């Protein structure tokens, strides 16, 4: 099959799986997950074929050396809006990790939702399963995990989600990218609110949907502006066309002195702020952890949020349209600032979180900030590289945390003490012996996140960002990001220590249990990538290793841009910083938390003082929004719009109009119709003298016989025709 055909077909299997499951197979759990996993596998195989065919193409990405095909779709006046697919090096690497992670999610979900376990005792749709009582061969009763009641629905949603992600990755224009983007927005809403009977899940779903919508509105504005300015939304016609880019950079937008290119880039970037949970629209992501624990969290951490970064990487030529490699443009500065600030801001919050998933959520925000910051600095390759590595190790971490929670739930069911939160790290400890596979893979993921030198993927990608910041002399960014990296290593080690090391702090942790193979297999697979993927992007001049493996990633993805980016000069200083913060943070984390006992407060609480609750409460951002945004909005809609404007002003006008009409009607009736028409004309004058006799006389002509009428009609017709003939022609 032609590669283009395969690319077209990639989103199809999951989409079909969605419809199949929703329409036909939702009664059968086994059939549903077989269809779901099968569809993911089909798309995965297709993606791998596309990816490896792309590898075999010489000069892939340069000029016409890409896989692309498009068809005319919407006629817009005299042009056609074309839709199509394209795979260039960037989308190829993104496709690679998307395919892997999506397949892993599907597989993992089978185990996570307890397939094969009995039906729960009190489970009902919309709530997480509560466990089932079974009687074993000896007559003993056990409480075990029970299967998710809406198992099939979950796979349907996952399928739709995967279809959206594939659409986004393969599209060759911003419009279909937006379509995939919105499909994922919907799926994210559906999956966060999957347990819709939980109020917190409902609220989180609405919050995520509304918050990302704020970003999407601006993104749509950006799309509209771009379309009106260029007449197209295709990547190749905008981002690979120097003339268009130049023209956009030269045109002023009359807003804040930005060029058109800058304004469009910023508007689109606001979409990314929403999707990738950057400050100030980051608030939805931590709440999104209300979804089915690891899987939807993983979607929101590893896959969907990557879409935002992917989009910024896509529009990178637009963002840097009038940039000449030295001082950052306004738009770039804004992007760099937001990214950098988010990175440090989220890292500080993560330090004080106790929920195992919340820590990861904030760490995700922080790492996305790294990428955005890199893009703001113009470090294109570094951002793309970190995107890919991060996707792998963050997926690994989330799945690992899900595994931990799953193991803890097992323990909770065993003891029957439902007050113990299976997600609170303070309830854990010593799990490394109970869940060895989860421990080792989690450790790999955590080290990758921290940037443990040389062996992990995270080290190479993060190092590259720092090196870029150093090479271009962005000192403020360098310092901030280094601090953030230090904090990252610290809270990662804090998490690992609290969860796996030391002794169990609760009975539940003692009875935790390793999870089934469907969950551990994805962990192992992802761990391989978390370790190995960094090796494809080692800088060429890195001591020793650099010569061993040429910087494949740089050359491959660099071909995506019109002007291939230069690799930065190798310097030992950022390397040193990297080493220092990673190892330092890890050591610090271990030292502080290595012998925390049950019931003991966080050792950081004392030294940090008031800062600790500040961090734990996420800088009070939710409260800030509640007071400054939500409350005024509620007031305006309630008091102003509804009570005053709608009820009093508009209704008042309408009522007045209605009253006036009624009044006019009744006066006409009483003072004109009744006395003059009815009495005077009708009864007094009409009855005797005119209408009745005339009617009586004329009614004779009405024989009621159709032929008499016809004769009349023909006669009149002839007369009229004769008259017309005589007088007109």
Partner 1 sequence: MIPLSWFLYLSAVLFSIGLYGVLARKNAIAILLGVELMLNAVNINLVAFWRMGNLALMTGQVFAIIVFAVAAAEVAVGLSLVISVYRRHNTVIADELNLMKW
Partner 2 sequence: MIDASQVIFLLSAGLIVVSAVMVVSVRNLVHAALWLVSTLFGVAVVYAVLEASFLAVAQVVVYIGAIAIMFIFAVMLTRRDLLSKSEQTNANWVWALGLAAIVFVALAFIISGYGASLNRLPAAMPEGYDPISALGNALVSPEGFALPFEVASVLLLAALVGSVYVALNKAKE
> Which spans of this chain sit near partner 1 (rule: CB under 8 A)?
699, 702-707, 710-711, 714
**Alpha-carbon radius of gyration of the chain:** 34
In angstroms, what is the minimal distance from the CB of 711 to partner 2? Answer: 5
Question: Closer to partner 1 at the Cβ: 138 or 705?
Answer: 705
In angstroms, what is the minimal distance from the CB of 174 to partner 1? Answer: 50
Question: How is residue 608 written in tokens?
Answer: 């940090």
In angstroms, what is the minimal distance from the CB of 78 to partner 2? Answer: 23
In angstroms, what is the minimal distance from the CB of 702 to partner 2? Answer: 15
Question: Scanning residues 665 to 724, which ones bind partner 2 (CB under 8 A)?
Answer: 705, 707-708, 711, 714-715, 718, 721-722
Residue count (the chain): 729
Question: Closer to partner 2 at the Cβ: 680 or 711?
Answer: 711
- The footprint of partner 2 on this chain (CB under 8 A) covers a number of residues equal to 9
In angstroms, what is the minimal distance from the CB of 696 to partner 2? Answer: 22
The answer to whether the beta carbons of residues 314 and 173 sit under 8 Å apart is no
Q: DSSP letter for 618, please.
A: G
Tell me which of partner 1, partner 2, none is bound by residue 715, counting a contact when its beta carbon lies within the kind-specific cut-off of 5 to 8 angstroms.
partner 2
Question: Closer to partner 2 at the Cβ: 476 or 720?
Answer: 720
The answer to whether the beta carbons of residues 165 and 102 sit under 8 Å apart is yes
Tell me which of partner 2, partner 1, none is bound by residue 702, counting a contact when its beta carbon lies within the kind-specific cut-off of 5 to 8 angstroms.
partner 1
In angstroms, what is the minimal distance from the CB of 692 to partner 1? Answer: 13
Question: Scanning residues 297 to 316, which ones bind partner 2 (CB under 8 A)?
Answer: none
SS3 50: helix
Pairing of strands 141-144, 132-135: antiparallel
In angstroms, what is the minimal distance from the CB of 317 to partner 1? Answer: 58
611 class by beta-carbon count within 10 Å (0-12 exposed, 13-18 middle, 19+ buried): middle
Half-sphere exposure of 377 (CA within 13 A, CB side): 28
Tell me which of partner 1, partner 2, none is bound by residue 724, counting a contact when its beta carbon lies within the kind-specific cut-off of 5 to 8 angstroms.
none
CB burial of 308-326 (b: ≥16 within 10 Å; e: otherwise) equals bbbbbbbbbbbbbbbbeee
Question: Closer to partner 1 at the Cβ: 135 or 699?
Answer: 699
Query: Residue 321: in which H helix or E strand, if any?
Result: none
In angstroms, what is the minimal distance from the CB of 714 to partner 2? Answer: 5
Q: ∠ CA 661-663-668 to the nearest 5 degrees?
A: 95
Question: Closer to partner 1 at the Cβ: 694 or 710?
Answer: 710
Question: Closer to partner 2 at the Cβ: 658 or 722?
Answer: 722
Tell me which of partner 2, partner 1, none is bound by residue 599, counting a contact when its beta carbon lies within the kind-specific cut-off of 5 to 8 angstroms.
none
Tell me which of partner 2, partner 1, none is bound by residue 706, counting a contact when its beta carbon lies within the kind-specific cut-off of 5 to 8 angstroms.
partner 1
Question: Closer to partner 2 at the Cβ: 23 or 706?
Answer: 706
Question: Closer to partner 2 at the Cβ: 139 or 704?
Answer: 704
Q: Return d(Cα 202, Cα 195) in angstroms, integer.
A: 8
Closest CA to 292 of 434, 110, 528, 59: 110
Tell me which of partner 2, partner 1, none is bound by residue 699, counting a contact when its beta carbon lies within the kind-specific cut-off of 5 to 8 angstroms.
partner 1
Question: Closer to partner 1 at the Cβ: 630 or 714?
Answer: 714
Displacement of CA 484 from its chain's centroid (Å):
24
Closest CA to 127 of 201, 58, 221: 201
Tell me which of partner 2, partner 1, none is bound by residue 722, counting a contact when its beta carbon lies within the kind-specific cut-off of 5 to 8 angstroms.
partner 2
In angstroms, what is the minimal distance from the CB of 721 to partner 1? Answer: 14
Half-sphere exposure of 428 (CA within 13 A, CB side): 34
Q: Which whole-number Å values give the CA distances from 334 to 52, 161, 269, in the listed order?
A: 37, 31, 10
Phi, psi of 226 (to 5 degrees): -60, -45
Tell me which of partner 2, partner 1, none is bound by residue 718, counting a contact when its beta carbon lies within the kind-specific cut-off of 5 to 8 angstroms.
partner 2
Phi, psi of 113 (to 5 degrees): -90, 20
Question: Closer to partner 1 at the Cβ: 677 or 716?
Answer: 716
SS3 145: coil
Question: Closer to partner 2 at the Cβ: 633 or 715?
Answer: 715
Which residues have CB under 8 Å from 175's CB, separation 6+? Answer: 81, 83, 223, 233
In angstroms, what is the minimal distance from the CB of 665 to partner 1? Answer: 32
The answer to whether the beta carbons of residues 509 and 408 sit under 8 Å apart is yes
In angstroms, what is the minimal distance from the CB of 716 to partner 2? Answer: 11
Tell me which of partner 2, partner 1, none is bound by residue 649, counting a contact when its beta carbon lies within the kind-specific cut-off of 5 to 8 angstroms.
none
Q: Return d(Cα 162, Cα 105) in angstroms, integer.
A: 10
Q: Return d(Cα 78, Cα 332) in angstroms, integer.
A: 36
| Contacts with partner 2, residue ranges (CB under 8 A) | 705, 707-708, 711, 714-715, 718, 721-722
């Amino acid at each position: 099959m032609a590669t283009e055909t395969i690319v077209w077909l990639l989103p199809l299997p999951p989409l079909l799986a969605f419809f199949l499951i929703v329409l036909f197979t939702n009664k059968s759990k086994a059939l549903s997950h077989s269809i779901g996993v099968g569809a993911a596998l089909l798309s995965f195989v297709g993606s791998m074929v596309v990816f490896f065919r792309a590898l075999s193409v010489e000069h892939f990405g340069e000029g016409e050396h890409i896989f692309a095909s498009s068809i005319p779709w919407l006629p817009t006046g005299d042009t056609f809006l074309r839709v199509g697919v394209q795979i260039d090096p960037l989308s190829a690497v993104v496709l690679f990790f998307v395919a892997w992670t999506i397949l892993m999610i599907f597989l993992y979900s089978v185990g996570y939702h307890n397939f094969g376990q009995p039906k729960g005792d009190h489970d009902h749709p919309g709530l997480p399963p509560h466990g089932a009582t079974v009687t074993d061969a000896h007559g003993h009763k056990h409480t075990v995990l029970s299967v998710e009641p809406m198992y099939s629905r979950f796979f349907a949603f996952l399928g739709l989600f995967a279809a959206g992600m594939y659409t986004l990755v393969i599209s060759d224009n911003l419009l279909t990218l937006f379509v995939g983007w919105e499909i994922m927005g919907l799926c994210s809403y559906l999956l966060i609110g999957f347990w819709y009977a939980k109020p917190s899940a409902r609220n989180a779903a609405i919050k995520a949907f509304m918050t990302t919508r704020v970003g999407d509105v601006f993104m749509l504005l950006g799309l509209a502006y771009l379309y009106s300015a260029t007449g197209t939304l295709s990547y190749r016609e905008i981002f690979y066309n120097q003339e268009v880019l130049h023209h956009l950079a030269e045109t002023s937008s009359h807003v804040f002195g930005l060029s058109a290119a800058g304004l469009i880039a910023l508007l689109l970037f606001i979409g990314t702020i929403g999707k990738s949970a950057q400050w100030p629209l980051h608030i939805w992501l931590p709440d999104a952890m209300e979804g089915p624990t690891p899987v939807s969290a993983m979607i929101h951490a590893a896959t969907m949020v990557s879409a935002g970064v992917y989009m910024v990487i896509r529009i990178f030529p637009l963002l840097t349209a009038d940039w000449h490699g030295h001082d950052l443009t306004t738009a770039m500065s804004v992007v760099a600032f937001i990214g950098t600030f988010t990175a440090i801001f989220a890292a500080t919050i993560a330090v004080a979180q106790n929920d195992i998933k919340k820590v990861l959520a904030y760490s995700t925000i922080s790492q996305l900030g790294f990428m955005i910051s890199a893009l703001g600095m113009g470090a294109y390759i570094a951002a793309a590289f970190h995107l890919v590595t991060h996707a792998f190790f963050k997926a690994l971490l989330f799945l690992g945390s899900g595994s931990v929670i799953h193991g803890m739930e097992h323990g909770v069911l065993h003891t029957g003490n439902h007050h113990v939160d299976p997600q609170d790290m303070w309830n854990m400890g010593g799990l490394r012996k109970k869940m060895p596979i989860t421990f080792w893979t989690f450790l790999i993921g955590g080290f990758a996140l921290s940037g443990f030198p040389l062996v992990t993927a995270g080290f190479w990608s993060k190092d590259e960002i720092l090196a870029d910041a150093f090479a271009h002399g962005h000192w403020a960014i360098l310092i901030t990001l280094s601090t953030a990296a230090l904090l990252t290593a610290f809270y990662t080690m804090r998490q690992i220590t609290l969860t796996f090391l030391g002794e169990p702090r609760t009975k539940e942790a003692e009875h935790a249990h390793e999870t089934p193979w469907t969950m551990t297999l994805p962990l192992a697979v992802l761990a391989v990538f978390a370790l190995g993927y960094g090796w494809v992007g080692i800088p060429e001049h890195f001591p020793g290793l650099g010569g061993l493996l040429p910087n494949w990633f740089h050359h491959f993805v660099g071909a995506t841009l019109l002007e291939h980016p230069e690799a930065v000069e190798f310097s030992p200083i950022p390397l040193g910083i990297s080493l220092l913060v990673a190892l330092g943070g890890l050591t610090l984390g271990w030292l502080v938390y290595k012998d925390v006992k049950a019931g003991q407060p966080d050792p950081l609480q004392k030294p940090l003082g008031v800062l600790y609750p500040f961090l734990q409460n996420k800088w009070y951002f939710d409260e800030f929004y509640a007071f400054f945004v939500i409350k005024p909005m509620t007031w305006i809609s309630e008091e102003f719009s509804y009570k005053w404007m709608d009820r009093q002003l508009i209704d008042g006008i309408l009522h007045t109009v209605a009253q006036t009409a009624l009044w006019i009607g009744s006066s006409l009736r009483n003072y004109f119709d009744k006395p003059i028409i009815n009495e005077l004309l009708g009864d007094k004058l009409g009855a005797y003298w005119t209408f009745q006799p005339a009617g009586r006389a004329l009614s004779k002509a009405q024989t009621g016989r159709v032929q008499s009428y016809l004769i009349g009609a023909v006669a009149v017709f002839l007369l009229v025709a004769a008259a017309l003939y005589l007088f007109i022609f």
